[in-house]
Chain A
Amino acid sequence: MVNEQNEKDVFVRAYTAMVLSRTFDKKIVMAQRQGRIGFYTPSIGQEATQVGLSMALDHDDVIFQYYRDVALMIHRGVPIEVILDQIMGNAEDESKGRQMPSHYTAKKYNFMSVQSPVATNLPLAVGAAYALRYQKKNTVVVATFGDGSTSTPDFHAAMNLAAVFNLPVIFLCENNGWAISLPTEKQTKVEISEKAAAYGMKGIKVDGNNFIETYKATMEAVERARSGKGPTLIDAISFRMGAHSTSDDPSKYRSQTVEEGSEKDPITVAEEQLKSLGYLNDSLIAKIKEESTKMVNDKFDIQEKIPAPVPSTMFDDVYAEKNWIIKEEEDDIL
């Protein structure tokens, strides 16, 4: 929680996480072009949303995140190495190189495991919230997802269930305006925050480019959840400044862009806010950016040397113990 004593530290830490995430994104997109990485879904443009969310949560709160949550992970303290290992799919990756890049698992940090089929994490968040309440834990569960994901049956099912059971869940829609090539106005006829009313839950629309506003909105939802008042849907509006993924070419379907450093860039917004609060100045900003770049470059080079997982690992963890079928196939293949 932010208060008068810690505000400067908390805000500067938030800004630093945003910068680190941005630096990381640019590095990975570049590395993909150089053939050093297979694929990536950048968070660029969504840093303020993710950091604002993270600021309102405790360590014990559980997050069913999606594939674009690097700033969220960084702010929550997940080491860059953990994120890199997943993207590289190397021997130290928590999911043992099994998942495509951007599909993170970070159990220690209460980050669940990312799947590709969008919004299928939402009903899981509802079930988790039910279980945690049953266990008398005062924990909040968060699910993140994109604007496009609100069209799915899973979104509907989860919203309805969470409201019916009055559960401590926060649905945080990272509304970046696009679902690959489809703009939000072609995805849905109403504001995403308005959908909440139909299920009987609170809906909040917030400027997702503003980390302080997103933090406040999330804090309101967290307090509602912890005091037994039920779920909240937050529609955090930002803009997908990059491509959908490294396989995507947005010039085919949109002319609209947000330039880095422009007033619509959430990092610029944060810089202006923190400068006017007197917490940052240009030289501090330059220092934070420089340190981020060095850190990302150094760590990338180190993690890149880690080899692929040994082939036999691909047969592990399908079950607690391998059945005869898998044993036989492993013997045949290796």
Chain B
Amino acid sequence: MVQALNSTLDHIMSGDNSVILLGEDIGKDGGVFRVTEGLQAKYGEERVIDTPLVELGIVGMSVGMSLMGVKAIPEIQFQDFIYTAFDQIINQMAKMRYRSGGGFTLPMVLRTPYGGGIKGGLYHSQSGEAYFAHTAGLVVVTPSNPYDAKGLLISSVESPDPVIFLEPKRLYRAAKIEVPDEDYRVKIGEAARPMEGDDLTIITYGAMVPTVLNTVKKNNLNADVLDLRTLLPMDVNAIISSAKKTGRVVIVHEAPRTLGMGAEISALISERAIEYLYAPILRVTGPDIPFPYRLEDYYMPGETRIMKAVKRVMEFR
């Protein structure tokens, strides 16, 4: 995924002079995960900016740049360090269009790696997507493979609204798949259905997608798997039509359960398709505790827990 993101940023920058990247260690160093490798050498220090260590400033400056017609693509080195910039995100970035009566718009894309499974402990593992998805005015996306990473990034840069682009860092170096050279878009607001089936629906996104797919294959489940890709606004049609088709739904995410994305998905289904359900909607999620270092394998949802939930919905009478 790192490779796909890097070449897509390169491609976007070469085609659009108004794009500027900024963040900590993104220039000379190429980013701590190497997503911006080589871009400063190619486009210069004015377009690929190594900023001082100040997340609030990085996001605030990006908002200001975007107001003037420069498309800023800031990087926050780890999502865990975004919180000093929260005021800028919630009160500036998300509200600019609304509070100016549609007069000022922000076509900016804030990229940041998130999620665990890399032995990062409390502060290099967080999955804070729900904080952003709770904020009107933002678009929130997260790819689960290099192909979608490219298509979603292009769509995000073209989006007229500010996008939080969450990169599941556990998949940065995951199995490579071919990414076409030419331009293509993955539409914002559209889920993918990497597997089709009739017995149950498993809804997931980000780093949990490969975990779910492997579980489905290994256990020969006849499951409809939805990879949301966009968390705000979610693909309600895909969710509801699949729930109606199978009548059994399991939601899987790594973020903690309480008020996570699963809560919203579950509410949408119970409001719109409850008469189709044969079983309660179950969530398999990270627990409501800070992310531990040494015991992280117990934190991450995996096959055992997913299958436990699958059995429960399949056997429910």
Contacts and interface: CB of A to CB of B under 8 A. Distances in A.
Interface residues of B, number: 37
Interface in B10-64: 24-25, 27-30, 32, 50, 52-54, 56-57
A36 interface: no
Interface stretch (A21-29, A70-78, A286-294, A323-331): A323-331
B210 interface: no
A98 interface: yes
Nearest to B45: A186
Given A99-B122, A181-B50, A253 B29 contact: yes
B53 A100 contact: no
A154 B84 contact: yes
Contacts of B27: 181
Given A97-B292, A187-B53, A329 B121 contact: no
Centre residue among A90, A97, A248 by max chain B CB count within 10 A = A97
Contact of B52 (A103, A117, A182, A247): A182
B119 interface: yes
B288 A333 contact: no
Nearest to A332: B305
B257 interface: yes
B289 interface: yes
Contacts of B50: 181-182, 186
A152 B289 CA distance: 27
A252 B29 contact: yes
B123 interface: yes
A333 B287 contact: yes
A179 B50 CA distance: 11
Interface in B85-118: none
A38 B119 contact: yes
Nearest to A117: B81
Interface in B283-312: 287-290, 292-295, 298-299, 305, 308
B131 interface: no
Given A100-B123, A148-B53, A149-B53, A180 B84 contact: no
Contacts of A99: 121-122, 293
A278 interface: no
Contacts of A285: none
B83 interface: yes
Contact of B293 (A89, A180, A315): A89
Interface stretch (A41-49, A191-199, A306-314): A306-314
Contacts of B293: 38, 89, 97-101
B301 to A, nearest CB: 9
B299 A182 contact: no
Contacts of A211: none
A330 B287 contact: yes
A151 B54 contact: yes
Interface in B165-196: none
Interface string A242-258: 00000110001100000
Interface residues of A, number: 45
Given A97-B295, A152-B84, A180 B119 contact: no
B109 to A, nearest CB: 23
Interface in B184-220: none
B216 to A, nearest CB: 20
Nearest to B285: A329
B53 A182 contact: yes
A115 interface: yes
Nearest to A120: B84
A90 B290 CA distance: 18
Contacts of B128: none
Contacts of B257: 325, 329
B241 interface: no
Nearest to B54: A151
A149 B29 CA distance: 18
Given A152-B53, A188-B52, A89 B123 contact: no
Nearest to B309: A332
Interface in A216-270: 247-248, 252-253
A253 B28 contact: yes
A151 B54 CA distance: 6
B52 A334 contact: no
A181 B124 CA distance: 19
A116 interface: yes
B152 to A, nearest CB: 27
A57 to B, nearest CB: 27
Contacts of A329: 257, 287-289
A116 B124 contact: yes
Given A116-B80, A118-B53, A333-B305, A98 B294 contact: yes
B24 A180 contact: yes
A311 B295 contact: yes
B121 A309 contact: no
B290 A98 contact: yes
Contacts of B24: 179-180, 182
Given A252-B29, A253-B28, A100 B289 contact: no
27 contacts: A97-B295, A98-B121, A98-B292, A98-B293, A99-B293, A100-B122, A100-B124, A101-B293, A116-B80, A117-B80, A117-B81, A151-B53, A152-B53, A180-B24, A180-B29, A181-B25, A182-B52, A182-B53, A186-B52, A187-B52, A248-B32, A252-B30, A314-B299, A329-B257, A329-B288, A329-B289, A334-B298
The 9 A-B residue pairs with the shortest CB-CB distance, nearest first, are A116-B123, A100-B121, A97-B294, A181-B29, A89-B294, A329-B287, A151-B52, A253-B28, A148-B53
Given A89-B293, A182-B52, A308-B294, 19 more contacts: A97-B294, A100-B122, A100-B123, A103-B123, A116-B121, A116-B123, A151-B57, A152-B53, A180-B32, A181-B28, A181-B29, A186-B52, A253-B28, A253-B29, A313-B295, A315-B287, A325-B257, A326-B289, A329-B287
